[in-house]
C-alpha cells in the first residue's frame, strides 16, 4: 500500500514523459479520446508549474498530441517560455513545438523576436542552429524584417554548420520580406560562389546523378521504379540546360513508353516533347504512332495524341520539315475512335492549311478524301469527338476550293443525307462551304458552251439543300434557306444564259489571315483616349443616391456565388447534377440523350466501340503501309541523297580549299536538314505598333513574384535592412528641434544612423573591390553634386533617410507630401506673388470666422515685399546649411501659400452617398472625418484600425499635428515601442490649405461586446505668414459594436449547422414604419453593419456576420407592411444586444 502511495506521489512529482504518454495512449485504444483529454488536463497543470523541466516535458508531450490532430495553440505562450530556457535540451523542445504549431496568425510570435535574436547570436552553435531551424518554419514578414540583418551576419559565421543554415533560411526571408533581397544579394552571391565544402555538394550531385540515372534507366528488369521515374524527371530538367546530353538517350526514353507504369510513360512523353529536333521528329512521331495503335484505354491514347500534336506544332512548327507528312499524320490520327481530341486535330489541320500556303493543294486533296469517306469517321457513334475533323475538312475544301481536282464530287459528298446526322455546327460549315464550292464550280464551267455541269450543280443544291432547311439547328437552317434561295435565283439566271460566276465568287472573296491570340490586348491605346473619363455628364447626385445601395447589394451577390462554386464539394455537385437531370427529364423542352450513345461512353471495354476497318480500296491509306511512313522513307532517301551530294560538294570544296574547314564536317547538325518543300509559314498578325509586353504571361498569383526584383540596380539608401541600434547612439545624432522628436522620425533617424554605419562597411568592401567601381561611385557623387547645390545634396540625402522602411507607410506619405510640396514650389514660384494676392483677397470671404487671418488690408503690397524679402532670407538660410526639417518646413510654407488658389477654388469633397465615414470633429481650421475600419480578421483578434481623414479648411498651413487618445482599460491606442502610454502620435503629414489626407491609427481592443467612446485631442500648429499658433481640437471616437464585425460569407448549410448547434442565444427586434424596398433594407444592413446575406426568400432573408474575435452573429430579417422584424442569434448576448441597438439606430435615422 505504502509503495503505491509513494509511486503515486513520485508520479505526480515527475509526471509522465513522452514515452509514458505514448504507452498510455496505446493501452487505451478503446477510449483514446478520453485518455488524451485527461492527459491534456495534466499537461495544463504541469504548464502552470515554475519548473522549466516540467514545462519542457509538457510541451514535448503537446508536440506529440499535435501530431495526433489536437490543437495546442492555447499553449503557445508556454512554448515561448520553454524556447527561452537557457538549457539547450529545453530550448530544442521549445523550438520544435514552435515549428510544429506556430504560424503567421500566432500572436505570441511577436514576443519571440528578441529571444530568437539572442539565440542567433549565441556562442553555442547549436543554439543558433536550433533557432534557425525553428525560424525557417514559422518566419513571418515581421520576423523576417527584424531578423534579416542578424541572419545576414550569420552567413559569414565561422562554423559551416551555421553558414549553410543561414544561407538556406535567407530564401524564406526573401519570400516573406522581399525588400531584403536586394541588400542581401551581394553577400548571398559571394556565399554561393564561394567553394564552401558545406554547401555546394548539390550541384556536383546533379552531374553525378545524371550519369548514374542514365545507367539505371537502361536496366531492363529494373524494379527500382523510383530511379526510373526520377531519372526521367531529372532528364527533363537537365534538358532545359543541356539538351544535347539528353537527346542522345532518345532510344532509352522511347523504351520507357512501353513501361507498364503509367506514371513513367507519361513522364517519358513529357521528355520527348523537349527532345525533338528537325532530324528526329519523323522518327519519334512514327514510334508514337505505333504506340497509339497499341495503346488500350482512351486516357493514355488521348494523352499520346495530344503529345504528338504538341510535339509537332511546338514553336510554330519549327521542327517540321515536310508538311505533307504532317498532314498525313493528322489524317491518320483521325482513325482514332472515341477520342475527345477531334477538335485538336481539326484546329491543327486548319492552322497548317491556312498558314502554310504551299501545302494547300495537298491538304485540300486529303480533306476531300476525308469528306468522301466521312461515313467511316462518323460511323454509328455520331457523338464521336473525331467528327470534329470534318469541320476542318469542309472548311478547307470550301475555302481553298480552287485547289480541288473535282469540286463537283466533293460538293456531292458534302450534301449527302448522312451529313444531317452530324452536329449542328459542323453542318453549318458544310452548308456554307457547299456554297463556296458551288461558286468554284460555276467559275470553272463558265464560258463553256455547254453549261450542263453548272446547271447540274445548281440542281443538286436545290435538291439537297431542303434537307438542311429543315434542320433543328438554327444556324444550319438559316444558312441553308438563304443559300437555297440564292441558288434558285442563280438557276433562273443560268437558264437565261446570264454569266453569274464572277458575282457569285465575289461573295466569298478575300482571304482570312491568322490573328495572334494576344493581338487584341496589344492594340495600343490611341492618344487622347481616356477610358476613365466621362463621355456624358455624370448622373446627378440625387440619382446616384438611389442607385448606390442597389449596386452595393448587387455586388455582394456574385461574389457569393463565385466563392460558393469553388467550395462545392463533389458530393454536392453530384447531387445537383442529379437534380438537374431530373428537372430536364420532366421538361419537355429538353431533348433527352439517347440511351444508346450514353452506353457507348459508359462501356468500359472496347467491344462496344465499332472498330472501323478502313477499306483498303479507299485511297485514304496506301495499302500495306501507312502513308506517313512513306514520307519517312522518302525523307530518309532524300537526306541520304543530299548528304551524298553534299559530300561530293565538300570534296570539291576541300580540294579547292584544302583542309581548312575540318571542324564543321558534322554531317548531322541541325542546319543541314533542309525542308522538303519551300514553305512559308504565315506568322500570326499583330496590330500595328503593338506594344511589346511579355508580362502578360506571368501568373499574378505566383508566390515568387515578389522576388521579381532587379538585382543589378544600385541599392537605394531606403533599402537598407533595418539594424538595431541603441538609444545612446540616437542621442549622439545631430540635435533636432521639437518637430522631429516625435516617434516615427526617431525611427527614421535610427535607420539613418545605421545607414551611415553600413556605408562604412560598404566602403571597406569597395576598397577591396576594383578601382573601377570607385570611379563610378565618384562619378555618381559628382552627378549628384551637379544636379543640386552642395548643401541641398546633404539635405536631399537626409530626406531620403526619412524614407527608410521601418515606418514605411508614414514615411511614404511623408515623401509624397514632400514631393507635392516641392512640385508646387517648382511650378509656382513665378505666380507666387499673384497667389499671395488672391489669398489675402479671398480668404476673408471664404472663411469669415477665421480669427487669425485678420490681416490689415493695407499690407497687401507690403506683403508682396515681405514675400520677396522672405525668399531672400531663405536663400541666405539655405547657404547656412539647415537641418532637413527646416528645409521641409520651408517647403511646406511656400507650398502652403502657393496652393491657396487650390484651396479656395476647390470645394469640399462631397461624401459618398453610403459611407461609413462620419464626422468626428471640426473647427474653423480642421475637419476630421473618421471611419472605423477593421483590420486582420482572424490573425489580429484585437486590432481595430481607425482611418481618419484630416481636411484643412483654413487657408493657413497646418503642421505638427499630433493625435492623442485617452486610453481606456479596454481600448488602447497602439503607440510605437518605447513611447509612453500618454504620448501622442504624430500625424505623418502636414496639410497645406484645402488639402485633406488620411491617417490610420491602430487600436488594440480587449472586449468587443460593448460599444465604447474614447476621448481624444488633436493638437496642431497653424502657420500663416506672420504667426504660428498652437491649436487644439477635441473629439470623441465612437467604437460601435458593429465596427467589430467583419463581413464574412457563410454558406447556407454551415449556417444551418450553426443555428442547430444551440450554442447561440437569441434576441429580436421590431422596426415599425420602415418604408423602403426590402433589398434596400438588406443592403443597408450589409453595408453599415457588415453583414452578408446567406439566403433570401421573398421578403425574408438570413444574414451572417462575424466579430473580429470570432463571435457568430446570425440575423433573420422578415418584412411585412412596413414592419421589419429581426430575429437574431449570437454566442455573445451583450454583443448581440448592442448590434441590434445600432441597427435600430441606423433605421431610425432614415
Partner 1 sequence: MIKAILIFNNHGKPRLIRFYQYFAEDMQQQIIRETFHLVSKRDDNVCNFLEGGSLIGGSDYKLIYRHYATLYFVFCVDSSESELGILDLIQLICFFLCVCVFVETLDKCFENVCELDLIFHMDKVHYILQEVVMGGMVLETNMNEIVAQVELQNRMEKSEGGLSAAPARAVSAVKNMNLPEIPRNINIGDINIKVPSLSPF
**Where in 79-108 is the site for partner 1 (CB under 8 A)?**
87-90, 92-93, 96, 100-101, 103-104
User: By CB under 8 A, is residue 57 in contact with partner 1?
Assistant: yes
> Distance between CA 194 and CA 192 in Å, rounded?
5
Among 18, 486, 931, 1054, binds partner 1 (CB under 8 A): 18
Assign 973 to helix, strand or coil. strand
User: By CB under 8 A, is residue 27 in contact with partner 1?
Assistant: no
Which CB atom, from 198 or from 424, has the smaller least distance to partner 1? 198
User: By CB under 8 A, is residue 50 in contact with partner 1?
Assistant: no
Q: Binding to partner 1 (CB under 8 A): which residues in 347-386?
A: none
Q: Give min distance, CB of 1105 to partner 1, in A.
A: 22
User: By CB under 8 A, is residue 70 in contact with partner 1?
Assistant: yes
What does the block give as the cell for 19? 514515452
Site string for partner 1, 786-825 (x = CB under 8 A): ----------------------------------------
Which CB atom, from 177 or from 325, has the smaller least distance to partner 1? 177
Strand pairing class (1028-1039; 996-1005)? unpaired
Count the neighbouring beta carbons within 10 Å of the beta carbon of residue 173: 25
Is there a contact between 803 and 877 (Cβ–Cβ < 8 Å)?
no
Q: Give min distance, CB of 253 to partner 1, in A.
A: 15
> Distance between CA 799 and CA 817 in Å, rounded?
12
Count the neighbouring beta carbons within 10 Å of the beta carbon of residue 309: 20
CA atoms within 13 A on the CB side of 603: 13
Instruction: Measure the CA dihedral 768/774/777/778, to 10°.
Output: 140
Site string for partner 1, 612-641 (x = CB under 8 A): ------------------------------
Q: Give min distance, CB of 1131 to partner 1, in A.
A: 20
What does the block give as the cell for 812? 511614404
User: By CB under 8 A, is residue 237 in contact with partner 1?
Assistant: yes
Q: Which of 871, 337, 806 is nearest to 606 (CA)?
A: 337
User: By CB under 8 A, is residue 20 in contact with partner 1?
Assistant: yes
User: By CB under 8 A, is residue 71 in contact with partner 1?
Assistant: yes
> Distance between CA 113 and CA 117 in Å, rounded?
6
Which CB atom, from 179 or from 372, has the smaller least distance to partner 1? 179
Is there a contact between 957 and 896 (Cβ–Cβ < 8 Å)?
yes
User: By CB under 8 A, is residue 1 in contact with partner 1?
Assistant: yes
Which CB atom, from 101 or from 817, has the smaller least distance to partner 1? 101
User: By CB under 8 A, is residue 221 in contact with partner 1?
Assistant: no
> Distance between CA 123 and CA 108 in Å, rounded?
26
Phi, psi of 928, deg, nearest 5: -115, 130
> Distance between CA 440 and CA 508 in Å, rounded?
10
Q: Binding to partner 1 (CB under 8 A): which residues in 679-718?
A: 702, 704, 707-708
Among 132, 386, 431, 1069, binds partner 1 (CB under 8 A): 132
User: By CB under 8 A, is residue 460 in contact with partner 1?
Assistant: no
Which CB atom, from 161 or from 1078, has the smaller least distance to partner 1? 161
Site string for partner 1, 287-326 (x = CB under 8 A): ----------------------------------------
Q: How many chain residues interact with partner 1 (CB under 8 A)?
A: 81
Which CB atom, from 94 or from 892, has the smaller least distance to partner 1? 94
> Distance between CA 516 and CA 522 in Å, rounded?
10
Q: Binding to partner 1 (CB under 8 A): which residues in 740-779?
A: none
Q: Which of 961, 955, 899 is nearest to 928 (CA)?
A: 961
Question: Would residue 422 be called left, alpha or beta, if left means φ above 0 and alpha means ψ between -120 and 50 degrees?
Answer: beta
User: By CB under 8 A, is residue 263 in contact with partner 1?
Assistant: yes
- The radius of gyration computed from the CA coordinates of the chain, to the nearest angstrom, equals 40
User: By CB under 8 A, is residue 206 in contact with partner 1?
Assistant: yes
Among 2, 512, 533, 731, binds partner 1 (CB under 8 A): 2
User: By CB under 8 A, is residue 223 in contact with partner 1?
Assistant: yes
> Distance between CA 1125 and CA 442 in Å, rounded?
78
Q: Which of 1068, 422, 446, 987 is nearest to 744 (CA)?
A: 987
Which CB atom, from 215 or from 290, has the smaller least distance to partner 1? 215
Among 62, 234, 363, 934, binds partner 1 (CB under 8 A): 234
Q: Give min distance, CB of 567 to partner 1, in A.
A: 13
Which CB atom, from 234 or from 1135, has the smaller least distance to partner 1? 234
> Distance between CA 565 and CA 554 in Å, rounded?
18
Q: Give min distance, CB of 210 to partner 1, in A.
A: 9
User: By CB under 8 A, is residue 229 in contact with partner 1?
Assistant: yes
User: By CB under 8 A, is residue 17 in contact with partner 1?
Assistant: yes
Number of H helices, E strands in the chain: 45, 15
User: By CB under 8 A, is residue 202 in contact with partner 1?
Assistant: yes
User: By CB under 8 A, is residue 19 in contact with partner 1?
Assistant: yes
> Distance between CA 1043 and CA 916 in Å, rounded?
10
User: By CB under 8 A, is residue 69 in contact with partner 1?
Assistant: yes
Among 113, 133, 298, 796, binds partner 1 (CB under 8 A): 133
User: By CB under 8 A, is residue 227 in contact with partner 1?
Assistant: yes
User: By CB under 8 A, is residue 226 in contact with partner 1?
Assistant: yes
Which region among 259-267, 355-363, 507-515, 862-870 touches partner 1 (by CB under 8 A)? 259-267
What does the block give as the cell for 27? 493501452
Is there a contact between 461 and 438 (Cβ–Cβ < 8 Å)?
yes
User: By CB under 8 A, is residue 203 in contact with partner 1?
Assistant: yes
> Distance between CA 1124 and CA 880 in Å, rounded?
72
User: By CB under 8 A, is residue 205 in contact with partner 1?
Assistant: yes
Which CB atom, from 503 or from 702, has the smaller least distance to partner 1? 702
Is there a contact between 911 and 949 (Cβ–Cβ < 8 Å)?
no
Is there a contact between 539 and 904 (Cβ–Cβ < 8 Å)?
no
User: By CB under 8 A, is residue 5 in contact with partner 1?
Assistant: no
User: By CB under 8 A, is residue 241 in contact with partner 1?
Assistant: yes
User: By CB under 8 A, is residue 74 in contact with partner 1?
Assistant: no
User: By CB under 8 A, is residue 228 in contact with partner 1?
Assistant: yes
> Distance between CA 1025 and CA 1008 in Å, rounded?
47
User: By CB under 8 A, is residue 574 in contact with partner 1?
Assistant: no
Is there a contact between 140 and 109 (Cβ–Cβ < 8 Å)?
yes
Neighbouring-strand partners of residue 958: 991, 1022
Q: Binding to partner 1 (CB under 8 A): which residues in 396-425?
A: none
Among 233, 681, 690, 820, binds partner 1 (CB under 8 A): 233
Which region among 131-139, 509-517, 603-611, 1060-1068 touches partner 1 (by CB under 8 A)? 131-139
Which residues, 6+ apart, have CB-to-CB distance to 57 below 8 Å? 15, 17, 18, 46
Q: Binding to partner 1 (CB under 8 A): which residues in 141-200?
A: 161, 164-165, 168-169, 171-172
User: By CB under 8 A, is residue 64 in contact with partner 1?
Assistant: yes
3-state secondary structure 593-651: CCHHHHHHHHCCCCCCCCCCCCCCCCCCCCCCCCHHHHHHHHHHHHHHHHHHHHHHHHH
Q: Where are the beta strands (DSSP E) in 953-1062?
A: 957-965, 971-973, 985-986, 996-1005, 1012-1023, 1028-1039, 1045-1046
Which CB atom, from 706 or from 1100, has the smaller least distance to partner 1? 706
User: By CB under 8 A, is residue 53 in contact with partner 1?
Assistant: yes
Among 33, 68, 568, 622, binds partner 1 (CB under 8 A): 68
User: By CB under 8 A, is residue 56 in contact with partner 1?
Assistant: yes
Among 46, 63, 116, 487, binds partner 1 (CB under 8 A): 63
Amino acid at each position: 500500500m505504502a509503495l503505491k502511495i509513494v509511486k503515486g506521489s513520485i508520479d505526480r512529482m515527475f509526471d509522465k514523459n513522452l514515452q509514458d504518454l505514448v504507452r498510455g495512449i496505446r493501452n487505451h485504444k478503446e477510449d483514446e479520446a478520453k485518455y488524451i483529454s485527461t492527459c491534456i488536463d495534466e499537461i495544463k497543470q504541469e504548464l502552470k508549474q515554475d519548473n522549466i523541466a516540467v514545462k519542457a516535458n509538457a510541451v514535448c508531450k503537446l508536440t506529440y498530441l499535435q501530431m495526433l490532430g489536437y490543437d495546442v495553440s492555447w499553449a503557445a505562450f508556454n512554448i515561448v517560455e520553454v524556447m527561452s530556457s537557457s538549457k539547450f535540451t529545453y530550448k530544442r523542445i521549445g523550438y520544435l513545438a514552435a515549428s510544429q504549431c506556430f504560424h503567421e496568425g500566432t500572436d505570441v510570435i511577436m514576443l519571440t523576436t528578441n529571444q530568437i535574436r539572442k539565440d542567433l547570436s549565441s556562442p553555442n552553435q547549436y543554439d543558433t542552429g536550433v533557432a534557425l531551424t525553428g525560424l525557417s518554419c514559422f518566419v513571418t514578414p515581421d520576423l523576417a524584417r527584424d531578423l534579416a540583418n542578424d541572419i545576414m551576419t550569420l552567413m559569414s559565421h565561422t562554423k559551416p554548420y551555421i553558414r549553410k543554415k543561414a544561407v538556406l533560411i535567407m530564401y524564406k526571408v526573401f519570400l516573406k520580406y522581399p525588400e531584403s533581397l536586394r541588400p542581401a544579394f551581394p553577400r548571398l552571391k559571394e556565399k554561393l560562389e564561394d567553394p564552401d565544402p558545406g554547401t555546394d555538394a548539390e550541384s556536383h550531385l546533379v552531374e553525378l546523378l545524371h550519369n548514374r540515372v542514365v545507367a539505371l534507366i537502361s536496366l531492363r528488369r529494373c524494379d527500382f521504379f523510383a530511379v526510373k521515374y526520377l531519372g526521367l524527371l531529372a532528364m527533363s530538367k537537365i534538358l532545359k540546360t543541356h539538351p544535347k546530353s539528353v537527346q542522345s538517350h532518345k532510344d532509352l526514353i522511347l523504351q520507357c513508353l512501353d513501361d507498364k507504369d503509367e506514371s513513367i510513360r507519361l513522364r517519358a512523353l513529357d521528355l520527348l516533347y523537349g527532345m525533338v529536333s528537325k532530324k528526329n521528329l519523323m522518327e519519334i512521331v512514327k514510334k508514337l504512332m505505333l504506340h497509339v495503335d497499341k495503346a488500350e484505354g482512351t486516357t493514355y491514347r488521348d494523352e499520346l495524341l495530344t503529345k504528338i500534336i504538341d510535339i509537332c506544332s511546338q514553336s510554330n512548327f519549327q521542327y517540321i520539315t515536310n508538311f505533307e507528312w504532317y498532314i498525313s499524320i493528322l489524317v491518320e490520327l483521325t482513325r482514332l475512335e472515341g477520342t475527345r481530341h477531334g477538335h485538336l486535330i481539326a484546329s491543327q489541320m486548319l492552322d497548317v492549311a491556312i498558314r502554310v500556303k504551299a501545302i494547300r493543294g495537298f491538304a485540300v486533296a486529303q480533306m476531300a478524301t476525308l469528306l468522301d469517306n466521312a461515313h467511316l469517321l462518323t460511323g454509328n457513334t455520331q457523338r464521336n469527338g473525331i467528327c470534329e475533323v470534318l469541320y476542318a475538312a469542309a472548311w478547307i475544301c470550301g475555302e481553298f476550293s480552287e485547289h480541288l481536282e473535282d469540286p463537283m464530287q466533293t460538293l456531292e459528298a458534302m450534301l449527302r443525307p448522312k451529313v444531317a446526322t452530324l452536329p449542328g455546327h459542323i453542318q453549318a460549315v458544310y452548308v456554307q462551304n457547299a456554297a463556296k464550292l458551288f461558286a468554284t464550280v460555276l467559275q470553272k464551267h463558265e464560258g463553256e458552251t455547254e453549261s450542263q455541269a453548272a446547271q447540274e450543280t445548281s440542281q443538286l443544291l436545290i435538291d439537297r439543300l431542303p434537307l438542311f432547311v429543315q434542320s433543328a439547328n438554327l444556324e444550319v437552317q438559316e444558312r441553308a434557306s438563304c443559300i437555297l434561295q440564292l441558288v434558285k435565283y442563280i438557276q433562273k439566271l443560268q437558264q437565261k444564259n446570264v454569266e453569274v460566276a464572277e458575282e457569285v465568287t465575289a461573295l466569298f472573296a478575300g482571304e482570312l489571315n491568322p490573328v495572334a491570340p494576344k493581338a487584341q490586348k496589344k492594340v495600343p491605346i490611341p492618344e487622347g483616349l481616356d477610358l476613365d473619363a466621362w463621355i456624358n455628364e455624370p448622373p446627378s447626385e440625387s440619382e446616384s443616391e438611389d442607385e448606390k445601395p442597389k449596386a452595393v447589394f448587387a455586388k455582394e451577390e456574385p461574389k457569393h456565388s463565385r466563392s460558393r462554386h469553388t467550395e462545392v464539394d463533389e458530393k454536392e455537385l453530384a447531387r445537383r447534377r442529379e437534380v438537374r437531370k431530373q428537372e430536364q427529364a420532366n421538361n419537355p423542352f429538353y431533348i433527352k440523350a439517347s440511351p444508346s450513345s450514353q452506353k457507348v461512353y459508359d462501356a468500359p471495354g472496347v467491344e462496344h466501340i465499332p472498330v472501323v476497318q478502313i477499306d483498303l480500296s479507299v485511297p485514304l491509306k496506301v495499302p500495306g503501309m501507312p502513308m506517313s511512313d512513306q514520307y519517312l522513307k522518302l525523307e530518309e532517301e532524300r537526306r541520304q541523297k543530299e548528304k551524298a551530294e553534299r559530300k561530293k560538294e565538300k570534296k570539291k570544296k576541300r580540294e579547292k580549299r584544302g583542309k581548312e574547314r575540318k571542324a564543321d564536317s558534322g554531317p548531322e547538325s541541325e542546319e543541314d536538314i533542309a525542308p522538303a518543300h519551300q514553305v512559308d509559314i504565315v506568322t500570326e498578325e499583330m496590330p500595328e505598333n503593338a506594344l511589346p509586353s511579355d508580362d502578360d504571361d506571368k501568373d499574378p498569383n505566383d508566390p515568387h513574384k515578389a522576388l521579381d526584383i532587379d538585382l543589378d540596380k544600385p541599392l537605394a539608401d531606403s533599402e537598407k535592412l533595418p539594424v538595431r541600434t541603441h538609444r545612446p547612439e540616437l542621442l549622439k545624432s545631430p540635435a533636432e528641434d521639437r518637430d522631429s522628436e516625435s516617434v516615427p522620425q526617431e525611427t527614421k533617424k535610427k535607420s539613418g544612423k545605421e545607414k551611415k554605419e553600413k556605408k562604412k562597411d560598404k566602403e571597406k568592401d569597395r576598397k577591396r573591390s576594383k578601382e573601377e567601381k570607385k570611379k563610378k561611385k565618384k562619378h555618381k557623387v559628382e552627378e549628384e553634386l551637379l544636379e543640386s547645390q552642395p548643401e541641398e545634396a546633404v539635405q536631399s540625402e537626409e530626406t531620403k533617410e526619412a524614407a527608410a522602411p521601418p515606418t514605411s507607410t508614414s514615411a511614404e506619405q511623408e515623401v509624397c507630401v514632400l514631393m507635392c510640396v516641392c512640385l508646387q514650389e517648382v511650378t509656382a514660384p513665378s505666380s507666387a506673388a499673384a497667389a499671395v494676392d488672391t489669398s489675402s483677397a479671398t480668404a476673408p470671404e471664404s472663411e469669415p470666422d477665421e480669427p487669425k487671418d485678420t490681416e490689415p488690408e493695407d499690407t497687401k503690397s507690403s506683403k508682396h515685399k515681405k514675400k520677396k524679402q522672405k525668399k531672400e532670407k531663405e536663400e541666405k538660410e539655405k547657404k547656412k546649411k539647415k537641418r532637413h526639417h527646416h528645409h521641409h518646413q520651408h517647403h511646406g510654407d511656400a507650398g502652403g501659400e502657393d496652393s491657396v488658389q487650390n484651396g479656395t477654388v476647390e470645394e469640399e469633397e462631397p461624401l459618398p452617398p453610403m459611407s461609413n465615414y462620419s464626422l468626428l470633429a471640426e473647427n474653423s481650421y480642421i475637419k476630421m472625418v473618421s471611419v472605423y475600419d477593421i483590420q486582420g480578421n482572424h490573425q489580429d483578434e484585437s486590432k481595430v484600425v481607425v482611418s481618419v481623414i484630416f481636411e484643412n479648411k483654413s487657408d493657413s498651413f497646418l503642421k505638427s499635428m499630433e493625435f492623442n487618445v485617452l486610453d481606456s482599460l479596454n481600448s488602447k491606442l497602439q503607440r510605437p515601442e518605447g513611447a509612453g502610454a500618454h504620448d501622442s502620435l504624430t500625424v505623418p503629414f502636414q496639410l497645406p490649405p484645402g488639402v485633406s489626407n488620411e491617417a490610420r491609427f491602430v487600436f488594440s481592443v480587449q472586449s468587443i461586446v460593448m460599444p465604447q467612446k474614447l476621448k481624444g485631442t488633436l493638437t496642431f500648429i497653424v502657420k500663416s505668414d506672420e504667426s504660428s499658433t498652437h491649436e487644439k481640437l477635441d473629439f470623441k471616437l465612437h467604437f460601435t459594436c458593429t465596427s467589430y464585425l467583419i463581413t464574412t460569407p457563410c454558406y447556407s448549410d454551415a449556417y444551418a449547422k450553426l443555428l442547430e448547434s444551440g450554442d447561440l442565444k437569441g434576441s429580436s427586434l421590431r422596426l415599425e414604419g420602415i418604408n423602403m424596398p426590402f433589398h434596400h433594407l438588406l443592403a443597408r444592413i450589409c453595408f453599415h453593419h457588415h453583414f452578408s446575406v446567406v439566403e433570401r426568400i421573398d421578403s425574408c432573408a438570413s444574414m451572417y456576420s462575424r466579430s473580429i474575435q470570432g463571435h457568430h452573429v446570425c440575423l433573420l430579417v422578415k418584412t411585412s407592411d412596413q414592419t421589419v422584424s429581426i430575429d437574431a442569434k449570437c454566442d455573445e448576448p451583450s454583443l448581440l444586444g448592442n448590434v441590434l441597438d445600432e441597427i435600430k439606430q441606423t433605421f431610425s435615422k432614415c
